[in-house]
Structure 1
Amino acid sequence: MGQDKTEDKNETGVELTEGETELYDRQIRLWGLESQKRLRTAKILISGLNGLGAEVTKNIILSGVSSVKLHDVQLVTEEDYCSQFLAARQSLGKNRAEASLGRARALNPMVDISADTQPLKEKTAEFFSAFDVVVINGQSNDELLRIDAICQDLGVKFFASDVWGMFGFYFASLQQHSYVEDVVKFKEMEAKPNQKPKFEKVAVPFQREMNYPAYSAWIDFDINAAGYQRQLKKNGPGVVLLSVLQKFRTTYKRDPSYKTREADIVLLQAIRDELAPNSTLSNESLGVLFAQISPAVAVVGGVVAQEIIKVVTGMEAPHRNLFIFDPDTCAGYVQAIGVN
């Protein structure tokens, strides 16, 4: 396994300029100066500038990282206007990454932001080695497996994420990740004679390590296993729905489309019945998977950005390891995959 590049960055001793300290004052008060310094050295790749990619991009740029590379080969379509707020209306037909540059740069002039339009499948390890965190939206399982394997060898943190309609997910492949966690303890206060002792809560930082399985753990996950069936009753069939959508993408080389909505629902039902014949995944849930809807994008994109900030700063444990946003309940939950 490659060396943890994020940990290397924590030792650079970078100093913030007066302008950066002023700009990030509220964040420094929130998570501390050292965490902001670590963010200031981080280099992030965001591939897939759909609505979800735009939301992640916005939050990461505002956090004050060193650089963000926007990658996409797709062109801006009218469907993007459901949630992609970085691409202006007049950019219809232009590359999504390039069309997002202007508004992205306006968010924070102190972050180096660039675009790349070369197909992702042509990118080698040399390309990914330039980043501390890689976020991939809208790709097939085969491509996600390929990129995660490269990131595993390089020690680069990897996130796979996507939104279909009102349903979304991300998977975090963080390898052996180190972080600091505050543990609350009670400290006895000095008391006057003949008085009962008093205690106050004190947060004591502890260094922790946690292993995050590779993306292949999700591919190998058995959605029909007895243990997971118990989880289904608690959380709902979100993981089944994710399996269905990824099988649809792999089989038909596209996502469900509103233009062929009725036919695609039939195809989705057939995949559901093949993969999980006893699932509680309803036909109604299969009818809300078209285009990326802003509320779902805001939730999933916000959580992905939050987890990236956790990873870069080394503060608090990132979720482990599959996050699902369920359209039926409009709530998110975390499912541990490949964890003993």
Structure 2
Amino acid sequence: MISKTLSEDEIKLYDRQIRLWGMEAQTRMRGSRVLVVNLTSVGCEVVKNLMLGGIGAITVIDSFKVLDQDLNANFFIDKTQVGQPKVLAAEARIKDLNPRVNLTVSTDDWQEKPEDYFLSYNLIVATGLDKTQLTRLNAITRKLKIPFYATGTHGLYGYIFVDLIEHESSVKYEKNPTPKKVGELSPTSEIVSITEVVENDVELQNCIVKTRFVPLSEIFINNYDKLKYYFPTPRKLKKISPVLPILLALLEIPSQIGKPIEDVAIDAKELESKVAEVVSRLKLPEEIIRPELVEKLAQQAFCEFQPVSAIIGGAVSQDLINMLGRRELPLNNFVVLDGFTNEMPIYTL
């Protein structure tokens, strides 16, 4: 049984972060049960951040064994544990981060779990899955009304997908020069109520914003109407990162996690064909397809690079904490990390 209140000791322990994101967010974290699917490199970052942040309970499910390549991307294991089940090898070091957190690990294959297995969680984070796997898991989270994050990395590149179904958060805007009004804020969000406050002699509007999300399956169909809102002209469409359609295309390829990286071979021409399909579906300009970039991502596909995982994992964890505390607008709904250009745009697909 997880306590949904903070003890005096916990308030002292988490004092600095309570000052940062507030007592409500910390209390909600204390009462949350999170499932992390796969202890990939980015999965390690998410688990680390949630453990140190004081989540109530976390389960890590991963059916793979430790490979030599994991030693460069997983700070919970060492070379003596190569060949062991990954989560069992990492369990003790994860627990050491924060003994107050109720930690459970499982070597089962999540795909063999019945639907009611997921009912005990109020948040699910999946890492390293492909489109077929993600679509299936996302369908379950939607049916059970569980917020869902999915993420993965490919060398210097990575992505985050978010489906909170429907979420309300508190956002403060300066009242002047243009006050906000109750009503539509964007195609996916609306202001449902406004309270005026004054902080440090500045007039603010505390707005309750309702944000709507779509399942992963919908971002693979023609979403031009949404893109058109944010990129209304052909010139602005050209500003969309060329990495976006490549990352979406890589999701079409069966997941390669748990496989020795030397055995992973992604055909650049085949990937370019999948990228062209994505570009066509999203009605993006054809010149967004960069063959040299496609080849680069084909070479880096499914490689785990710790600095990239740290950025992606940090972004997921911060958004998750904001979501629990109902603070700020959540990521909606597809984030692209380009580690080569140091850009991290958010696209509503």
Q: TM-score, normalised by structure 2?
A: 0.81
CA positional deviation for 1:274 = 5.7
Q: Could you say if the C-alpha distance between residues 28 and 327 of structure 1 is closer, same or farther in structure 2, counting changes exceeding 3 Å? A: closer
Equivalent residues in 2 for 1:118-157, closer than 5 Å: 118-157=108-147
**Deviations 1:171-219 (Å, cap 9, x if unpaired)?**
1011110111223347xxxxxxxxxxxx921555332211111112222
Q: Does the residue aligned with 1:283 lie in a helix, a strand or coil?
A: helix
Residues 5 and 31, structure 2, Cα contact 8 Å, conserved in 1: no
* 2:239 aligned with 1:234: yes
Match of 2:209 in 1: 208
CA–CA separation in structure 1 for the residues paired with 2:36 and 2:17: 22
CA positional deviation for 1:88 = 2.5
Residues 269 and 283, structure 1, Cα contact 8 Å, conserved in 2: no
CA–CA separation in structure 2 for the residues paired with 1:80 and 1:308: 26
Alignment partner of 1:57 out of 47, 51, 70: 47
Match of 1:314 in 2: 326
* 2:48 aligned with 1:48: no
Alignment partner of 2:79 out of 84, 89, 92: 89
CA–CA separation in structure 2 for the residues paired with 1:94 and 1:124: 26
Residues 58 and 104, structure 2, Cα contact 8 Å, conserved in 1: yes
Q: Could you say if the C-alpha distance between residues 262 and 64 of structure 1 is closer, same or farther in structure 2, counting changes exceeding 3 Å? A: closer
CA–CA separation in structure 1 for the residues paired with 2:348 and 2:29: 27
CA–CA separation in structure 2 for the residues paired with 1:111 and 1:221: 43
CA–CA separation in structure 1 for the residues paired with 2:110 and 2:70: 20
Residues 257 and 290, structure 1, Cα contact 8 Å, conserved in 2: no
Alignment partner of 2:336 out of 302, 313, 324: 324
**Percent identity over the alignment?**
26
**Deviations 1:220-257 (Å, cap 9, x if unpaired)?**
2468x9957755521321221112212222xxx63697
CA–CA separation in structure 2 for the residues paired with 1:110 and 1:305: 19
Equivalent residues in 2 for 1:1-340, closer than 5 Å: 14-185=4-175, 200-221=201-222, 227=228, 233-249=238-254, 254=256, 258-259=261-262, 264-272=267-275, 276=279, 278=286, 279-284=288-293, 285-286=296-297, 287-337=299-349
Q: What number of residue pairs does the alignment pair up?
A: 311
- Most deviating of 254-263 and 324-333: 254-263
- Most deviating of 256-265 and 169-178: 256-265
Amino acid at match of 1:200: D
Q: Does the residue aligned with 2:129 lie in a helix, a strand or coil?
A: coil
- Most deviating of 232-241 and 267-276: 267-276
Match of 2:194 in 1: none
Residues 248 and 271, structure 1, Cα contact 8 Å, conserved in 2: no
Q: TM-score, normalised by structure 1?
A: 0.83
Residues 79 and 291, structure 1, Cα contact 8 Å, conserved in 2: no
CA–CA separation in structure 2 for the residues paired with 1:234 and 1:309: 30
Residues 105 and 113, structure 1, Cα contact 8 Å, conserved in 2: yes
CA positional deviation for 1:149 = 1.3
Q: Does the residue aligned with 1:73 lie in a helix, a strand or coil?
A: coil
CA–CA separation in structure 2 for the residues paired with 1:263 and 1:53: 23
**Deviations 1:262-299 (Å, cap 9, x if unpaired)?**
76445434544565583433324323335201111011
CA positional deviation for 1:156 = 0.5
- Most deviating of 43-52 and 310-319: 310-319
Gaps of 5+ in 1: 1-11, 187-198
Residues 64 and 86, structure 2, Cα contact 8 Å, conserved in 1: yes
Q: Could you say if the C-alpha distance between residues 107 and 203 of structure 1 is closer, same or farther in structure 2, counting changes exceeding 3 Å? A: farther
CA–CA separation in structure 1 for the residues paired with 2:276 and 2:209: 42
CA–CA separation in structure 2 for the residues paired with 1:221 and 1:239: 15
Q: Does the residue aligned with 2:291 lie in a helix, a strand or coil?
A: coil
Residues 173 and 321, structure 1, Cα contact 8 Å, conserved in 2: yes
Residues 69 and 260, structure 2, Cα contact 8 Å, conserved in 1: no
Gaps of 5+ in 2: 177-199, 281-285
